[in-house]
A and B are shown apart, each in its own frame.
Chain A
Amino acid sequence: MKFALFTGCVAKGATRELMLATIKSAEALGIDFIEMKSAACCGAGVISEKNPVLTDAINARTFALAEEQGLDIITICSTCQGNLKKSECHLDEDVEYKDKINHVLKDGGHQYEGGKIKIKHFSNILATPEGKALLKEKIKRPLTGLKTAGFYGCYVLRPSELSEYEDPDNPKELEELFEILGATPVYYPSRIKCCGFPIIMMNKDASHAMAGNALIEAVEGGADCVVTGCPLCHLSLDSYQPEIESMQKKHYSIPILHLPQLVALALGFSPEEIGMDKHIVSTVGLDKILAQHA
């Protein structure tokens, strides 16, 4: 399997451990990721607040780059995934609009044709029968005894017609992957809700309350950790967890993992090799749980 890797900004910035774990797990699985080094930010749903056409134009350029490589795009961020899919939809449903954007892309040597490449989140690839078989074959350290609570990230689920998950109102893909990795999934209502990150600066209390509700539900459901496919959710749930705890006057200290980190753990990498020591909430307890069941 070979894909064009759209890293997104955050995996190259504040959550570089996500990038590290993605590369390591892909290598171990024999999946070939070619990083799209000249692809621009997806706009994160923010550039479109000011200029929706520009958002679609820079994403059309990204799609054109993938078409030139002849590879489907893989994202490792729910926000990137959702925003790229939205732009793809805008461009593909209106030929005149696409032509207008292509006219501008032409001067940079790019043209987006459409219909040639697919855009999928890493979890979508792992959740295919082929991906699942690959995981089963390569697991070195089943995560037996680890109770994992999935946190999907809004943009991969809604709007549902653009989602790559089978039932976005009640998705099961992350939980199925946890089971394949040997972990025990924890289901809780907030797993498909918002982490609050987009308004962390505009309405801090509401943002932390959203994240806090998810954390409480996960803890009450017996989870040892929360696993997310979105680095923005990770920032909200991990980096701001001390603020959330003090606001809610609760102490849960629940580790938050990036999905590729969980995969990499099962593939035999040590927590340090995949940057788990970079997290704000310590992940040391997870190793103890795994050691108990080894």
Chain B
Amino acid sequence: MAKFRIKRYNPEKQAEPYYEEFDYDIPEGATLLDCLNHLKWNVDGTLTYRMSCRSAICGSCAMKGNGHALLACQKQAAHLLKDGSDTITIEPLGNMPVIKDLATDFQQFWDKVDQVKPYLQNKEKPPERERQQSPQQFRKIDDATTCIMCGACYSDCNVLEVDKNFLGPAALAKAQRFVGDSRDQATRDRIKELSKPGGMWDCTHCGECVERCPKPAEPFYRIKELMAVGLEEGVTNNVGARHALSFVKSVKHSGRLNESKIPIESMGYFNIKGLLDLVPVGLRMLLKMKIPPIIHKPIDDAKDVRRIFEEFGE
């Protein structure tokens, strides 16, 4: 017998959320959604959650199982019982307000997707038939097009937990779907928008979105593709782009990172406020002699590394 510990909340009736436990003997092969359906249909009809396709296509039944976002229809309930535990904790998605029980309000999620203009921008007169793409051209956006907007990545995004201004993984993956589209003509404008605070350079590389994504969309990797386009397009008047350029330059030069230079080059020599921000931590580290060696020493055979950089176009 397994225990389903479900986070319940009805704002019209309760001041605070609470956990309720349901016992259920998981049938062999049952998904988490199958189990929730059993509980709703046979035990407590007020239990609220979204569901539809039961085939990991519609993206409706995203929720948290044991603290991590997942699609309830894609996960076998028994697989959530680990280390001999008999309890599965079910909670609503994170980073969104709860409407009731496991149903969350996606309004901010959709607002952010809207913000990246998720439609083709092409000023040319439409052709008689469709605008075609070669298989090679489509491959660049193939992964991003698999996104089912389930919100799992958004739920577990570490940046969104602390900064609601961040566009978030789903919207950025959607942005890549159009930045990478051979038929779209607004690449530079899109990249400029995405380079602003709250955009692609605010991604903290935590990989949560890759881990939670139930499809090959894997937003973090799409964000990296956006960054590469940003640098290629020369949209570099921002800290994130300067950081990447300084990093590449440093490793090309000596085979290793020059930690003394990179903060200054990233902030930008004319970014007085940014540079002043570095002073307290810099002084603090200096007083403890917790600083990189004064003479930056290259790795042995740095020349070979430099050669490889040049061979690959840097």
| Residues of B contacting A205 in the complex (Cβ-Cβ under 8 angstroms) | 162-163
11 contacts between A and B (CB under 8 A): A14-B291, A39-B299, A50-B228, A57-B311, A155-B207, A194-B206, A198-B205, A199-B159, A202-B201, A203-B159, A280-B290
With known contacts A13-B293, A158-B206, A240-B281, A49–B162 Cβ distance under 8 A: no
19 A-B pairs besides A41-B251, A51-B228, A169-B66 with CB distance below 8 A are A15-B290, A37-B300, A38-B300, A48-B224, A50-B228, A50-B245, A51-B314, A54-B308, A82-B207, A105-B308, A107-B307, A108-B301, A159-B207, A193-B158, A199-B202, A206-B163, A210-B161, A213-B162, A280-B290
| Residues of A contacting B290 in the complex (Cβ-Cβ under 8 angstroms) | 14-15, 17, 239, 278-280
Check A53–B243 contact: CB distance below 8 A: no
Say if the beta carbon of A45 comes within 8 Å of chain B: yes
Segment at the interface with A among B21-29, B98-106, B254-262: B254-262
A15 to chain B, nearest CB (A): 7
Interface string of A1-45 (1 = CB under 8 A from B): 000000001101111010000000000000000000111110111
**CB neighbors of B among A53-89 (8 A):** 53-54, 57-58, 61, 82
Say if the beta carbon of B244 comes within 8 Å of chain A: yes
User: B interface vs A, CB < 8 Å?
Assistant: 66-68, 82, 158-159, 161-163, 166, 197, 201-208, 210-211, 224, 227-228, 231, 238-240, 243-245, 247-248, 251, 255-257, 259, 263, 266-267, 274, 277, 280-281, 284-285, 288-293, 299-302, 304-305, 307-309, 311-314
A104–B251 Cα distance when bound, in Å, is 18
B225 to chain A, nearest CB (A): 9
With known contacts A9-B256, A104-B308, A280-B285, A46–B204 Cβ distance under 8 A: no
With known contacts A154-B207, A210-B158, A54–B202 Cβ distance under 8 A: no
| Residues of A contacting B201 in the complex (Cβ-Cβ under 8 angstroms) | 199, 202
- Determine the residue in chain A with the shortest Cβ distance to B250: A41
| Residues of A contacting B211 in the complex (Cβ-Cβ under 8 angstroms) | 158-160, 169
Check A49–B244 contact: CB distance below 8 A: yes
Check A243–B280 contact: CB distance below 8 A: yes
B45 to chain A, nearest CB (A): 32
| Residues of A contacting B288 in the complex (Cβ-Cβ under 8 angstroms) | 277-280
**CB neighbors of B among A134-173 (8 A):** 154-155, 157-160, 167, 169-170
Check B311–A104 contact: CB distance below 8 A: yes
User: A interface vs B, CB < 8 Å?
Assistant: 9-10, 12-15, 17, 37-41, 43-54, 57-58, 61, 82, 104-105, 107-110, 154-155, 157-160, 167, 169-170, 189, 193-194, 196, 198-199, 201-207, 209-210, 213, 239-240, 242-243, 277-280
Check B256–A194 contact: CB distance below 8 A: no
| Residues of A contacting B166 in the complex (Cβ-Cβ under 8 angstroms) | 203, 206
- The 8 Å CB contact of B244, one of A46, A58, A109, is A46
Check A46–B312 contact: CB distance below 8 A: no
Check B308–A158 contact: CB distance below 8 A: no
A82–B211 Cα distance when bound, in Å, is 14
| Residues of A contacting B305 in the complex (Cβ-Cβ under 8 angstroms) | 40, 58, 61
With known contacts A37-B300, A49-B231, A108–B204 Cβ distance under 8 A: no
Among the interface residues B68, B82, B266, B304, which one has the most CB atoms of the partner chain A within 10 A? B304
Check A45–B205 contact: CB distance below 8 A: yes
With known contacts A52-B224, A206-B163, A14–B202 Cβ distance under 8 A: no
| Residues of A contacting B245 in the complex (Cβ-Cβ under 8 angstroms) | 50
Check B243–A201 contact: CB distance below 8 A: yes
A51–B162 Cα distance when bound, in Å, is 30
B108 to chain A, nearest CB (A): 16
A53–B312 Cα distance when bound, in Å, is 8
Check A108–B307 contact: CB distance below 8 A: yes
| Residues of B contacting A49 in the complex (Cβ-Cβ under 8 angstroms) | 224, 227-228, 231, 244
| Residues of B contacting A167 in the complex (Cβ-Cβ under 8 angstroms) | 82
With known contacts A203-B163, A205-B163, A108–B304 Cβ distance under 8 A: yes
- The 8 Å CB contact of B292, one of A13, A44, A199, is A13
B97 to chain A, nearest CB (A): 19
A38–B297 Cα distance when bound, in Å, is 12
A268 to chain B, nearest CB (A): 24
| Residues of A contacting B248 in the complex (Cβ-Cβ under 8 angstroms) | 46-47, 50-51
| Residues of A contacting B301 in the complex (Cβ-Cβ under 8 angstroms) | 38, 108
A39–B300 Cα distance when bound, in Å, is 8
- The 8 Å CB contact of B308, one of A108, A202, A207, A240, is A108
- Determine the residue in chain B with the shortest Cβ distance to A47: B248
| Residues of B contacting A204 in the complex (Cβ-Cβ under 8 angstroms) | 277
A233 to chain B, nearest CB (A): 11
B168 to chain A, nearest CB (A): 12
Check B309–A54 contact: CB distance below 8 A: yes
A109–B304 Cα distance when bound, in Å, is 9
With known contacts A199-B204, A210-B162, A159–B210 Cβ distance under 8 A: yes
A279–B314 Cα distance when bound, in Å, is 36
| Residues of B contacting A12 in the complex (Cβ-Cβ under 8 angstroms) | 256, 293
B23 to chain A, nearest CB (A): 23
- The 8 Å CB contact of B299, one of A40, A45, A280, is A40
With known contacts A38-B301, A50-B248, A54-B309, A202–B231 Cβ distance under 8 A: no
B160 to chain A, nearest CB (A): 9
